[in-house]
A and B are shown apart, each in its own frame.
Chain A
Amino acid sequence: MTVIEARGLRKAFGATIALDGVNLRVEEGRILGLIGPNGAGKSTALNAILGLTPYQGELKVLGRDPWSERDQLMRDVCFIADVAVLPRWMRVSQALDYLAGVHPRFDRAKAEGFLAKTDIRHTSKVRELSKGMVTQLHLALVMAIDAKLLVLDEPTLGLDILYRKQFYDSLLNDYFDRTRTIVITTHQVEDVQHVLTDLMFINRGHIVLDCSMEEFESRYLEVTVHPEQLAAARELMPIHERQVLGRSIVLFDLKTIRPDRQQLAALGDTRTPGIADLFVAMLAGQSGNYAGAKQGVAL
């Protein structure tokens, strides 16, 4: 079953084109990572999917037009737009009351069960909670909603590694099953590499990569080249090369070049690249002005 389908999705803000004819399709039971630099169009795409912004082109979420049917769609779609959107004046108990009041698919007992595992008290106001706890609260609320699609836009921004790990752990263990679909955008790609089932790169309003994680793992290979093999490695036309601690790490796209894994293994130590490394490689290849990205900084 298709959860999201977009054909020729376009959105311009004045002269800036945020989405330039995007086609995408997300099937049920997938966890899609939408990865892109700032201003690539990620948030615009998500906003269009969530019915927060009008757009041109064709877009269906659960078979419906999100712009004209947002309020109905939100019975089956949940989103965490940002870490800091829960109203600061609200008490935890009020948030539970309100959701139970307006949402036909909210299971209050379930939310209370999730909250019991945290240090969040029902009498606390959101403004009294730490950033990590606010995210825990929002996740508890969202996971208690029996939705078909969950959209997470930078859900862990500004959280420490413990909260981030806990966030994705509970998402996978307590929430995700094969009937749900999750779309995540994040800059902390290392956190989600083992969470995703599908990967999509977006840059300047275009989808530049769209593959499943199985495809990703079989298609891309990173080799830490023995110094004496460097010339040989370069002859095989890697898509990217970077220096780490004086050694060259080269990235190959096995779909476009001939050599197989055995040949590459002879050049040095091989491993599956990180999503971030591939992203940097593809963007550095696309546009010359990503000099900073070549250093391998986190996206």
Chain B
Amino acid sequence: MNTQSRNESFDAQPIAPTVMQATRPFYWSVRRELWENRSIYIAPLAVTAVTLFGYMIASIGRALSLSDLAQRRTVLEEPLTFAMGVIMAIAFIVAIFYSLDALHGERRDRSILFWKSLPVSDLTTVLSKASVPLLILPLFAFVLTVVTQFIMLLLSTLVLRGSGFSAATLWTQSGLLPMSLVLLYHLVTVHILWHAPIYGWLILVSGWARRAAFLWAVVPPVAVCIVEKIAFNTTHFAALLQDRFTGGPEASTMPGRFPINPMMLTHLSPGRFLTAPGLWIGLAVAAAFFVAAAQQRRYRGPI
């Protein structure tokens, strides 16, 4: 080692050229998340299957026992809203639990040492993990909801056929397409853009909490609320959190009951939403959380 080449120049040597696109590590990191956390798709699929099964057994059975056509239709259409709510709820729950474990699991099982031995930056890793609650889960919930509602309507058509009721009316009046559009709008505005700082916070906490990530995620915000209440007798922070969770300006865009009001689409106000300072402040905070999570991952080894 300490031989002849002491005086040799020691400039930066060329690193292997990047022949791959910059997005490839990101793409494979997202796939990696889906391999590891199969609950991301299994949990929503299981809930969907149970809902459809229940629909076939209970709703269709009940509908067949009713003689009044209008009642029959109500019984058949009500679960469409319910299915949507259930799928969105499970996607939300999976997103919360996934985020709380996102940067924790790799430290707990020491695999962080393997991931860090590969040419994937900390920011790429954090963003690939963030894309699960912010992209994969909302879009998957959307597709599942649309498919489920489609199957439910298809089954309703079969039941109502021959009973003199026009199935075509059911399809046009229930408004599957406008409802899906409203749902997509709701998912993008509320579940992705408005909720982004929530997931940013959870992923950040998952990176530095050595244990009990859930408590670390919940206690500090609650403590701030309490301190604010005691010190100033105000509840601004609590109101802020509530506004963030319930969905802010577009909270009311959650598609309502079937059959959908065709006016619903015109009630959407993307202009108002996009100009709401809360949206941009929230996105800036989320970006700060993700950058902080990437920074601290540099310093972190196995627990």
Q: Contact: B13 with A63, CB < 8 Å? A: yes
A75 touches B15 (CB 8 A): yes
Which B1-52 residues have a C-beta within 8 angstroms of A? Answer: 1-3, 5-6, 8, 10-13, 15-20, 24-25, 27-29, 31-32, 35-36
B257: chain A residues at CB < 8 Å are none
Tell whether, in the assembled complex, residue A74 and residue B117 are in contact, meaning their CB atoms are under 8 Å apart. Answer: yes
**CB-based nearest B residue for A101:** B28
Of the listed stretches B107-115, B196-204, B231-239, chain A binds: B107-115
Q: Please state if B117 and A25 are interface contacts (CB–CB under 8 Å).
A: no
From B119-127, B156-164, B282-290, the one touching the partner chain is B119-127
- Let me know if A104 and B299 touch, CB within 8 A: no
Whether B111 lies near A87 (C-beta < 8 A) is yes
Contact of A27 among B5, B11, B106 (CB under 8 A): B5
Contact in complex: B24, A102 (CB < 8 Å)? yes
A77-96 contacts to B, CB under 8 A, are 78-82, 84-91, 94
Residues on B with beta carbons closer than 8 Å to the beta carbon of A103: 118-119
Bound-state Cα–Cα, A82 to B122, Å: 21
Which of the residues B2, B119, B299 comes within 8 Å of A72, measured between beta carbons? Answer: B119
Asked if A102 contacts B28 (CB within 8 A), the reply is: yes
Least Cβ–Cβ distance between B125 and chain A, in angstroms: 9
Chain A residues closer than 8 Å to B32, beta-carbon distance = 94, 98
Measured in the bound complex, the distance between the Cα atoms of B2 and A210 in whole Å is 8
Q: Specify which chain B residues have a CB less than 8 angstroms from the CB of A27 in the assembled complex.
A: 1, 3, 5
Bits for A96-138, please: 1 = Cβ < 8 Å to B, else 0: 0111011111000000000000000000000000000000001
B119 to A87, Cβ gap below 8 A? no
A294 on the B face (CB < 8 A) = no
For A63, give the chain B residue with the smallest CB separation.
B12
**CB of A2 within 8 A of chain B?**
yes
Q: Could you say which residues of chain B place their CB within 8 Å of the CB of A148? A: 13
- Secondary structure call for the B interface: loop
Asked if B2 and A85 make an inter-chain contact with CB atoms under 8 angstroms apart, the answer reads no
**CA A62 – CA B115 in complex, angstroms?**
21
B116 near A: Cβ within 8 Å? yes
Q: Does A297 contact B (CB under 8 A)?
A: no
Given A1-B5, A73-B15, A104-B17, A85:B113 Cβ within 8 A = yes
- Interface mask (B132-157 → A, CB under 8 Å = 1, otherwise 0): 00000000000000000000000000
A30 in the interface (beta carbon within 8 A): yes
A60 at the binding interface (Cβ < 8 Å): yes
Q: Out of A78, A81, A102, A146, which one reaches B29, CB within 8 Å? A: A102
Report whether A52 and B8 are in contact in the complex, using a CB–CB cutoff of 8 Å. Answer: no
- Can you offer 7 A-B residue contacts whose CB atoms are under 8 A? A1-B8, A25-B6, A63-B11, A63-B12, A89-B36, A101-B25, A104-B16
User: Chain A residues in contact with chain B, CB under 8 A?
Assistant: 1-2, 5, 24-27, 30, 32, 47, 50-54, 60, 62-64, 67, 70-76, 78-82, 84-91, 94, 97-99, 101-105, 138, 146, 148, 198, 210, 212
| Given contact pairs A62-B13, A101-B24, a sample of 6 additional A-B residue pairs in the complex whose CB atoms are under 8 Å apart | A25-B1, A53-B301, A73-B119, A78-B117, A84-B110, A146-B16
